[in-house]
Amino acid sequence: MVGLVIVSHSSKIADGITDLTAQIAAAHKGIIAAGGMEDGEIGTDAVRISEAIKKANDGDGVVVLADLGSGIMSAETAIELLDGEDINVKLADAPIVEGAIAAAVTAVCGQNMEAVIAAAEQTRAVKKINS
């Protein structure tokens, strides 16, 4: 199953999104939070993200969703740190909450990595309020 890594500058946000997503897609066991710094401070850490990617990987690939620009940069660095590892990992350009849920549900349905990324990225166009 395609794994997911949730990257946020806040460990509480990453943990909360991971908890919510895991409840909605309960059969998915590869949703890993990578939020905050090792000391609990706000920020993102490429090494922590790369470790989360390894943990989320079961061989079908890993999709990373991040909250802000520097989270994306840290995720890109984390992917570079995995050079030489046999892990197919890609970033999804998606809202972190809605994208994570769509990605998790799609992964649980057995879809491949491209479908999981597409599901996450399609949430950019979802309107929450029709006015």
Confidence of residue 9 (pLDDT cuts 50, 70, 90): very high
28 is catalytic: no
The arithmetic mean of pLDDT across residues 18-41, rounded, is: 95
Q: CB within 8 A of 127, min separation 6: which ones?
A: none
Does a structural domain hold residue 130?
A: no
Q: Mind listing the pLDDT tens digit for each residue in 92-124? A: 999 999 999 999 999 999 999 999 999 999 999
Does a structural domain hold residue 108?
A: yes
Does a structural domain hold residue 99?
A: yes
Among the listed residues 9, 18, 53, 64, the single catalytic one is 9
The arithmetic mean of pLDDT across residues 30-44, rounded, is: 95
Does a structural domain hold residue 16?
A: yes
Does a structural domain hold residue 100?
A: yes
pTM comes to: 0.95
Confidence of residue 128 (pLDDT cuts 50, 70, 90): confident
Confidence of residue 131 (pLDDT cuts 50, 70, 90): confident
Mean pLDDT value across the chain: 96
Number of domains composing the chain: 1
Share of the chain above pLDDT 90, in %: 92
Does a structural domain hold residue 61?
A: yes
Q: Which CATH number belongs to the domain containing residue 108 in this structure?
A: 3.40.50.510
- Domain of residue 93, residue span: 3-125
pLDDT at 130: 85
Contact 11, 43 (CB under 8 A): no
